[in-house]
Amino acid sequence: MINLRIDDTPVQARPGQTILTAACEAGIRIPTLCHVEALTPVGACRLCLVEIRNWNGRLVPACATPAQEGLDVVAHSDKLTALRRTILELLFAERNHICAFCVSNGHCELQDLATELGMDHVTFPYRFPSLPVDASHPKFGLDHNRCVLCGRCVRACSEVEGACTWGFSGRGVETRVEADLGDPWGASRTCTACGKCVQACPVGALFEKGKATAEQVKRPEILAEVTERRPRA
């Protein structure tokens, strides 16, 4: 076993476990957004940033950093809360996240994080970009206005379903998830219509057609169930 400290609590981890998993098993909650059990961690959203005291206070993503002997991890501090709030505010400012008018209102990980981190308003100017909605698929829709680019759909599609339909195009603020090589989702020849991407999506970007405001409930835990990491619910 590996011995480390998280928030001054001694914690044990098995070799190969990440700081996030070790914290989770010790009952220490670290906020996450791009992480979901059963998918390869990518450290994309940076909300799980923790500070390593004995690495000169370096900030690392807990989801993608292996637990190591003797690490002295700070998971909660005023500084980390401020950093996480800044990240969250930037996510809200980047696209059109209008909770009141979203299929995922009330069942959204981004909305929940705002509550958890005490975000009462966004201090950055909103960009209000003009973004399309792809409703070409017979069963599902993709609303780029809601997307946070966590890549959970991309990973669920390649790592669990094996279809590799989803990918990223563009760079920086112009990044978009897209089916195949930019085809409308409905025209995709690789999509199996399994819906794992929809269940993996933490926000209202991917949704089932026919769901109105606040009706879309997701079950990202199906990814752990179908890969037999967890018993089926």
Partner 1 sequence: MPKVRLASVWFSGCSGCHMSFLDLDERLLELATKVELVYSPIVDIKEYPDDVDVLLVEGAIGNTEQRHLLEEMRKKTKLVVAFGDCAVTGNIPSLRNPIPREELLRAVYGEGDIPGLEEGDVPKMLPQAVPIHTVVKVDRFIPGCPPSADRIWTFLQALLAGKRPELTGADLRFG
**Environment class of 191 (CB within 10 Å of its CB; exposed 0-12, middle 13-18, buried 19+):** buried
Residue 118 as a binder of partner 1 (CB under 8 A): the answer is yes
The angle subtended at Cα 32 by Cα 21 and Cα 218, nearest 5°, is 105
Number of residues that bind partner 1 (CB under 8 A): 25
Residue 193 as a binder of partner 1 (CB under 8 A): the answer is no
Residue 82 as a binder of partner 1 (CB under 8 A): the answer is no
CB of 75 to partner 1, least distance (A): 20
Residue 128 as a binder of partner 1 (CB under 8 A): the answer is yes
Distance CA(84)–CA(88), nearest Å, equals: 6
Of 17, 68, 86, 96, which lies in the binding site for partner 1, with binding defined by CB under 8 A? 96
Residue 119 as a binder of partner 1 (CB under 8 A): the answer is yes
Residue 56 as a binder of partner 1 (CB under 8 A): the answer is no
**Which range of residues in 12-20, 129-137, 154-162, 224-232 is near partner 1 by CB under 8 A?**
129-137
Q: Which of residues 202-221 bind partner 1 (CB under 8 A)?
A: 214
Task: Kindly report the backbone phi and psi dihedral angles of residue 51, in degrees, each rounded to the nearest multiple of 5, phi listed first.
Answer: -105, 135
What pairs with residue 208 in β-bridges? 140
CB of 76 to partner 1, least distance (A): 16
Residue 114 as a binder of partner 1 (CB under 8 A): the answer is yes
Contact 179, 161 (CB under 8 A): no
Between the alpha carbon of residue 93 and those of residues 88, 98, 110, 207, the distances in Å are: 9, 11, 12, 22
Strands 72-74 and 133-134: what pairing? unpaired
Nearer to partner 1, 99 or 135 (CB): 99
Amino acid at 202: P
Nearer to partner 1, 103 or 222 (CB): 103
**Which range of residues in 2-10, 18-26, 73-81, 110-118 is near partner 1 by CB under 8 A?**
110-118
Distance CA(171)–CA(185), nearest Å, equals: 20
Cβ-based neighbours of 27, under 8 Å, separated by 6 or more: none
Of 78, 130, 189, 231, which lies in the binding site for partner 1, with binding defined by CB under 8 A? 130
User: Which residues sit at the interface with partner 1, rule CB under 8 A?
Assistant: 92, 96, 98-102, 105-106, 108, 111, 114-115, 118-122, 125-126, 128-131, 214
